Amino acid sequence: MKSLRLVLPVVLMSVLMSLSTVAIAQSDMQSDMQKSDAQKSSGAPVPSEAQKSFATMKSLAGEWEGAVNVPEMPQMSDGKPLHVSMRVTSRGNTLVHELQEAGTPLDATKYDHPVTMLYVDGDQLTLVHYCDAGNRPRMTGKISPDGKTIEFEFKDISGNPDYHMQHSVFTVIDANHHTEDWTFMMKDKPIHAHFDLHRIN
């Protein structure tokens, strides 16, 4: 009887220790699984500045109209609205920006209709402007800290550099309102155009 009284606590201790070891192992395994899930969910690659800039630009896809103001050429600020069309293409890799006077047909012999392409090239958001002046300036963009403005700086040009687009800034006011500022160089003289655009579609 004495030996049974001595053996029983030892057996109970052994069972309790086994149970606690299993519980600890299960707890550790659950903790590891939770960590793994957390790592998986936060392990998505962080978008680069260029990708963030491009995502902001793509949010402007649609049809826009609004007034233009050209301080250096008041006759161009005659109240005729501009029409801007932006569409995402190439499986989401390119944004096409097309500009023309609102209400005019697509007739390249009579009306201006410049086309601009935007895409991510390595670590840079790149803009190529196919100008009615017959050249192709290339610019690179950077997003502002608040994520509302993307400014494009001149990088290089193909074609005659005497008359070319030099600089542009896109500012998002809200989902249905944005502004565009374009600087065109007429030899050494900058011409500034400000578009105040509202979404029509």
Q: Which candidate, 114, 160, 118, 112, places its Cα nearest to that of 135?
A: 160
In a 13 Å sphere around the CA of 152, the CA atoms on its Cβ side amount to 32
- Mean of the per-residue pLDDT values of the chain: 85
Higher pLDDT, 16 or 64: 64
Q: How far apart are CA 129 and CA 119, in angstroms?
A: 12
Rg of the chain in Å (alpha carbons): 31
pLDDT over 80 (residue 79):
no
- Which CATH fold would you assign to the domain 49-199? Lipocalin (2.40.128)
11 burial (CB, 10 Å; 0-12 / 13-18 / 19+) is: exposed
The pTM of this model reads 0.77
pLDDT digits (tens, 9 = 90+) for 121-170: 999 999 999 999 999 999 999 999 999 999 999 999 999 999 999 999 99
